[in-house]
Chains A and B, each alone.
Chain A
Amino acid sequence: DVKVTQSSRYLVKRTGEKVFLECVQDMDHENMFWYRQDPGLGLRLIYFSYDVKMKEKGDIPEGYSVSREKKERFSLILESASTNQTSMYLCASSTGQEGAKLFFGSGTQLSVL
């Protein structure tokens, strides 16, 4: 079974803090993604990566950055957390051949106070 592991299930941070969300997958997948999910807005793509050291902006990249130094790990960074970044963050991975068959981590519920 593919396993996508997100480092924290729940996280509480203060406004202005730098926040790191970590994601690790164990299936040697090329593609990795970060989404946020909010009630009524569905899943929105923040950033994605098709290879090590490669990153592409998704639909809502503002206020976020990412890092992919190793194939299995994709980190999401909130440079200066704000209350409107309170959300459920979901990491996903997929193979290069079947890119739309995503395997998701269990999510991190981030609250920014």
Chain B
Amino acid sequence: RKEVEQDPGPFNVPEGATVAFNCTYSNSASQSFFWYRQDCRKEPKLLMSVYSSGNEDGRFTAQLNRASQYISLLIRDSKLSDSATYLCVVNRDDKIIFGKGTRLHILP
């Protein structure tokens, strides 16, 4: 079983809709969690950290469920510019583990 797993998608979502995707991790000792965004042919960029209590940044909400070992990202009122690949990242003992990403296409 891979340590970090994501549905590769693509998720095709109409503009203005709400979309959510999850990322599961296998090691309960994982300590910190992040979402990165990668546009086509560009480098990954940190989107947001994921805190135990859940956190929000504008239209983006990230949540952590330690009991079920997953993190989630919810995007409200999606924009065309949200089209990208979203990478889940887990940090365990200073090891940084990337998921393979979920592709999101926002449709006009």
Contact = CB atoms under 8 A, between A and B. Distances in A.
Contacts, number: 38
A43 B34 contact: no
A23 B44 CA distance: 16
B14 to A, nearest CB: 27
Interface string A79-113: 00000000000100000000111111111000000
B46 A101 contact: yes
Given A41-B100, A42-B98, A42-B101, A104 B91 contact: no
Query: Is chain B's binding surface mostly helix, strand, loop or mixed?
Result: strand
B100 A90 contact: no
Chain A: number of interface residues, binned into ranges: 10 to 19
Interface in B27-58: 32, 34, 36, 42-46, 49
18 contacts: A33-B96, A40-B100, A42-B100, A43-B87, A43-B98, A45-B96, A99-B91, A99-B96, A100-B32, A100-B91, A100-B96, A101-B34, A101-B46, A102-B96, A103-B46, A104-B44, A106-B43, A107-B43
Interface of B: 32, 34, 36, 42-46, 49, 87, 89, 91, 94, 96, 98-101
Interface of A: 33, 40-43, 45, 90, 99-107
